[in-house]
Amino acid sequence: MVVYLDHAATTPMLPAAIAAYAEAMGVVGNPASVHSQGQNAKRMLEESREIVAASLGCDPIEVVFTGSGTEAINLGIKGLYWARAPRRRILVPGGEHHATLDTVEWLAEHDGAVIEWIPLDDQGRVDLAALKAAIARDPFDIALVSVIMANNEVGTIEPVAEVAALAAVHGIPVHVDAVAAYGYIPVDFRTLAAAGVSALSVSAHKVGGPVGIGALVLGRATTVEPLIHGGGQQRKVRSGTQDVAAAVSFAVAASALSAELSAAAGGETARLAALRDRVIAGVARVAPDAVLNGDPIIRLPGNAHFSFAGCEGDSLLFLLDAAGVSVSTGSACQAGVPEPSHVLRAMGRNEIESRGALRITLGHTSTDADVDALLAALPAAHAQALRAGMADRVPGR
């Protein structure tokens, strides 16, 4: 039996989303065409947009489909930056996903942006006092603030509304990366927009839809400079013939998650949190000195992220994989070479604690049997990883 506990990387597509995808791929018609087949494709697309919008608490016109969460984040950040020229400052917490980090760093390198990293506390939460002080320094030169809604590595849920409220005092737009949050905690754009959020990114493959489609929710009054030019589709913000089949499949996944998240207590959130708490208790029995990273309470229901003492997260990952359990260290890999986690470093953890990181993430297919299998495989994997110890690596490499 293979046990998949890496739902934060991607979660299995829902069977209904696969079926809808396959069926919709057989439908011909460009939604921009005037003839009846084009209009049929357009109807399928716009009905899907309505369902995705309902799952995000926004109006359908505010949903701009993109090719990924990464593209949505690029459009949100670069689009706002360019639309707000000549303002130069971008305020961003240090523990963001690479889609954000690399985008703002690109803008700094190629387009004059001045990045100001906002510190995190030791649980991964953005320091609101530091953000407030950074805003106060020169609010009129700030192009935007970008903040993650829930950290994809350590699972901490961020005070996004408070961030937006601080920026809103000076009319500064806020982009929210909700890719890791979507599907696990409610994401309601209307409420966030009332607090001052202008744009928000999500991705279908994190919620049981297909890889290859994401969305930027863009408030009606928000202007962004497009990244892609062409036929003027989607408010002229993201040109290109729209992927009807992917949108249909995304909508099936979005409506399933809306139903799950709106269910009263005892719904999917509580089910995942109970499984996660079994993981946390089980890890504490096997490795009492392992530290749970992130906020112990205000965290994603499916996320358990640890720093193990005296062994490499990579060793644990490979040993668990050999035992049929798929987990992650949580941090990015560059060409197969694991990088120390910038999130843990931003939380003040040292190199050793970063290297002992292991992320276990649960999702819609996860069961008690999966947790049993993890906890059965962990003692031997942990013992062996401890014997291997810490590889003699040059710090920082």
Ligand X SMILES: Cc1ncc(COP(=O)(O)O)c(C=O)c1O
Binding residues (CB under 6 A) for ligand X: these are 68-70, 73, 97, 99, 148, 152, 177, 179-180, 203, 214
* Cβ-based nearer residue to ligand X, 58 or 178: 178
Rounded to whole angstroms, the Cα distance separating 48 from 53 reads 8
CB of 14 to ligand X, least distance (A): 17
> Whose CB is nearest to ligand X?
69
- Closest among 167, 168, 207 to 186, alpha carbons compared: 207
Q: Between the CA atoms of 308, 313, 318 and 320, what dihedral angle is there, to the nearest 10 degrees?
A: 30
- Reported as type and span, the H/E element at residue 55 is helix 36-56
Q: Of 74 and 315, which CB lies nearer to ligand X in the complex structure? A: 74
Task: Give the residue with the Cβ less far from ligand X, 29 or 330.
Answer: 330
CB of 200 to ligand X, least distance (A): 11
Q: Exactly one of 333, 369, 376, 391 is catalytic; which is it?
A: 333
- Measured from the CB atom, the residue of 8 and 256 that comes closer to ligand X is 8
Residue nearer to ligand X on the CB measure, 224 or 378: 224
How far apart are CB 146 and ligand X at their closest, in Å? 11
**Cα distances (Å, whole numbers) of residue 174 to 33, 85, 104, 304:** 35, 15, 14, 28
Please give the DSSP secondary-structure letter assigned to residue 209.
S
- Give Cα 125 to chain centroid, integer Å: 15
The distance of closest approach from Cβ of residue 156 to ligand X in the complex, given in angstroms and rounded to an integer, is 12
Strands 291-292 and 303-307, how do they pair?
Answer: antiparallel
58 is an active site residue: no
Label residue 99 left, alpha or beta by phi (over 0 means left) and psi (-120 to 50 means alpha).
Answer: alpha
Could you tell me the smallest distance in angstroms from the CB atom of residue 77 to ligand X? 12
To ligand X, the closest distance from the beta carbon of 189 in angstroms equals: 17
Containing 116, the helix (H) or strand (E) segment is strand 114-118
Judge contact between 74 and 99, C-beta under 8 A.
Answer: yes
DSSP label of 61: G
Q: Round to whole Å and give the CA distance between 51 and 223.
A: 24
For 124-134, give one letter per residue: b (16+ CB within 10 A) or e. Answer: bbbebebbbeb
Q: Which is nearer to ligand X, 69 or 313 (CB)?
A: 69
Q: Which residues are catalytic?
A: 333
